[in-house]
Amino acid sequence: MEFTTEMMNNETNKPMVTTTTTKKIIRFKNRESLLTQMFANDANLRTIHNMIVMLVIVFLLYTIEDIIKEPAKYEEIYKVILWNVSDLGSVIRIWLMMNMIVLGLHYPLVLFNNFLQYRWLLINNPENDKQYAGCLHRTILYTIYGCISIFGILIYCTYSVLINDIKLTGSFSLLLEMTRLLMKSHSFFVEKKDLYIDKETLACLISQEPKNIYRSFWSLSSRAQFWKFIYYLFAPTLLYRDSYPRTKKIRWICAVNFGLQFILTVLLMFYLTYQGFVVNLKKTGIEPLVLNFKLLYQIIAYGIILYWLFFYFFFHAYLNFTAELLRFGDRHYYDDFWNSKSAQEYFRKWNHVVQQWLYVYIFIPIDNRFHNRVLTNVAVFITSALVHEYIIGFTLRFFFPVNLIAMIVLTLSKTNKFIKFKHRESYVTQLLENDANLRTIHNMIVMLVIVFLLYTIEDIIKEPAKYEEIYEVILWNVSDLGSVIRIWLMMNMIVLCLHYPLVLFNNFLQYRWLLINNPEKDRQYAGCLHRTILYTIYGCISIFGILIYCTYSVLVHNINVTGSISLLLEMTRLLMKSHSFFVEKKDLYINKETLESLISQEPKNIYRSFWSLSSRAQFWKFIYYLFAPTLLYRDSYPRTEKIRWIRAINFGLQFILTALLSFYVLYQGFVVNLKKTGIKPLVLNFKLFYQIIVYGMIIYWLFFYFFFHAYLNFTAELLRFGDRHYYEDFWNSKSAQEYFRKWNHVVQQWLYVYIFIPIDNRFHNRVLTNLAVFTTSALVHEYIIGFTFRFFFPINLLIFFCSQITYYLEKFGLIKGMTSFPLSLTMWSILVAIVTVEWNVRTNCPLPEKSSLLKHILPRFINYVTF
The alpha carbon dihedral of 92, 97, 102, 108 has a sign of positive
Contact 196, 16 (CB under 8 A): yes
**CA dist., res. 514 & res. 107, Å (int):** 102
Give the per-residue pLDDT at 25.
58
Domain of residue 786, residue span: 650-866
The 10 Å Cβ neighbour count of residue 173 is: 15
Q: Indicate the helix (H) or strand (E) that contains 124.
A: none
Closest CA to 411 of 342, 341, 343: 343
Domain termination residue (choose one: 595, 627, 659): 627
pLDDT over 80 (residue 778): yes
What type of residue sits at position 588? L
What is the DSSP track for 669-713?
IIIHHHTTBTTBPEEP-HHHHHHHHHHHHHHHHHHIIIIIIIIHH
Question: Does residue 283 form part of some domain?
Answer: no
**CA dist., res. 164 & res. 183, Å (int):** 25
Question: Does residue 769 form part of some domain?
Answer: yes
Which range in 284-298, 453-467, 599-613 is most confidently predicted, on average pLDDT? 453-467
**CA dist., res. 299 & res. 712, Å (int):** 34
pLDDT tens digits for range 290-318? 777 777 777 888 888 888 889 888 988 99
Give percent of the chain with pLDDT exceeding 70: 86
Question: Does residue 485 form part of some domain?
Answer: yes
What is the DSSP track for 481-543?
HHHHHHHHHHHHHHIIIIIHHHHHHHHHHHHHHHHHS-TTSS--SS-HHHHHHHHHHHHHIII
Question: Does residue 776 form part of some domain?
Answer: yes
Query: Do 655 and 623 share a domain, yes or no?
Result: no
Question: Does residue 669 form part of some domain?
Answer: yes
Query: Do 755 and 683 share a domain, yes or no?
Result: yes
pLDDT over 80 (residue 584): yes
Query: Do 615 and 761 share a domain, yes or no?
Result: no
How many residues can be counted in the chain? 867
pLDDT over 60 (residue 769): yes
Query: Do 727 and 782 share a domain, yes or no?
Result: yes
Number of structural domains found in the chain: 2
Angle formed at CA 219 by CA 216 and CA 224, multiple of 5 degrees: 115
3-state secondary structure of 174: helix
- The secondary structure of residue 720, as a DSSP letter, is T
**CA dist., res. 772 & res. 757, Å (int):** 11
Q: Which position has the higher pLDDT, 195 or 234? A: 234
Contact 9, 24 (CB under 8 A): yes
Give the per-residue pLDDT at 12.
33
Question: Does residue 195 form part of some domain?
Answer: no
Give the per-residue pLDDT at 39.
81
pLDDT tens digits for range 487-506? 999 999 999 999 999 999 98
**CA dist., res. 243 & res. 231, Å (int):** 10
pLDDT over 90 (residue 565): yes
Q: Indicate the helix (H) or strand (E) that contains 251.
A: none
Query: Do 677 and 778 share a domain, yes or no?
Result: yes
Which of 314-323, 596-605, 844-853 has the weakest average pLDDT? Answer: 596-605
pLDDT over 90 (residue 91): yes
Query: How much is the average pLDDT of 742-751?
Result: 89
pLDDT tens digits for range 108-123? 999 988 888 888 877 7
**CA dist., res. 794 & res. 219, Å (int):** 80
Contact 164, 97 (CB under 8 A): no
> pLDDT tier at 90 (50, 70, 90 boundaries)?
very high
Contact 576, 613 (CB under 8 A): no
pLDDT tens digits for range 620-636? 999 999 999 999 999 88
Query: Do 696 and 615 share a domain, yes or no?
Result: no
pLDDT tens digits for range 122-178? 777 555 444 455 667 788 888 899 999 999 899 999 999 999 989 888 999 999 999
**CA dist., res. 857 & res. 367, Å (int):** 81
pTM attached to this predicted model: 0.65
Which residues have CB under 8 Å from 756's CB, separation 6+? 769, 770, 772, 773
- φ/ψ region of 526 (left if φ > 0, alpha if ψ in -120 to 50, else beta) reads left
**CA dist., res. 692 & res. 831, Å (int):** 10
3-state secondary structure of 246: strand
Q: Which letter, b or e, does each residue of 234-252 get, where b requires 16 or more Cβ atoms within 10 Å of its Cβ?
A: ebbbbbbbeebeeeeeeee
Query: Do 860 and 737 share a domain, yes or no?
Result: yes
Query: Do 616 and 668 share a domain, yes or no?
Result: no
pLDDT over 50 (residue 666): yes
Which of 324-333, 345-354, 500-509 has the weakest average pLDDT? Answer: 345-354
> pLDDT tier at 719 (50, 70, 90 boundaries)?
very high
What type of residue sits at position 396? L
Which of 217-221, 389-393, 662-666, 707-711 has the weakest average pLDDT? Answer: 217-221
Cα end-to-end span (Å), the chain: 57
SS (H, E, C) 406-442: HHHHHHHCCCCCCCCCCCECCHHHHHHHHCHHHHHHH
**CA dist., res. 355 & res. 335, Å (int):** 11
> pLDDT tier at 404 (50, 70, 90 boundaries)?
low
pLDDT tens digits for range 19-31? 333 334 577 777 8
Query: Do 563 and 663 share a domain, yes or no?
Result: no
* Mean pLDDT rounded to a whole number for the chain: 81
Query: Do 547 and 680 share a domain, yes or no?
Result: no
pLDDT tens digits for range 435-463? 777 777 777 788 778 878 787 888 788 88
Question: Does residue 694 form part of some domain?
Answer: yes
Strand partners, 721: 639
pLDDT tens digits for range 255-268? 998 999 888 888 88
3-state secondary structure of 585: helix
> pLDDT tier at 69 (50, 70, 90 boundaries)?
confident
Closest CA to 415 of 508, 348, 335: 348
Q: How far is CA 487 from CA 5, 440, 482, 493, 552, in A?
A: 69, 43, 9, 10, 10
Give the per-residue pLDDT at 763.
83
pLDDT over 50 (residue 638): yes
Domain termination residue (choose one: 627, 642, 670): 627
Strand partners, 328: 246
Give the per-residue pLDDT at 9.
36
Domain termination residue (choose one: 568, 592, 627): 627
Give the per-residue pLDDT at 49.
80
Question: Does residue 838 form part of some domain?
Answer: yes
Give the relative orientation of helices 199-208 and 107-123 as an angle to the nearest 10 degrees. Answer: 70
Query: Do 665 and 808 share a domain, yes or no?
Result: yes
> pLDDT tier at 823 (50, 70, 90 boundaries)?
low
Which of 321-335, 631-645, 718-732, 851-865 has the weakest average pLDDT? Answer: 851-865
Strand residue runs (E) in 453-609? none
The 10 Å Cβ neighbour count of residue 71 is: 10
Q: Which position has the higher pLDDT, 643 or 204? A: 643
Query: How much is the average pLDDT of 570-583?
Result: 94
Query: Do 605 and 682 share a domain, yes or no?
Result: no
**CA dist., res. 834 & res. 680, Å (int):** 16
3-state secondary structure of 816: coil
- Helical H segments across 463-499, by residue range: 468-478, 481-494
Which range in 172-181, 334-343, 386-395, 764-773 is most confidently predicted, on average pLDDT? 172-181
**CA dist., res. 617 & res. 434, Å (int):** 40
- Helical H segments across 730-820, by residue range: 736-743, 745-751, 757-763, 766-789, 795-811
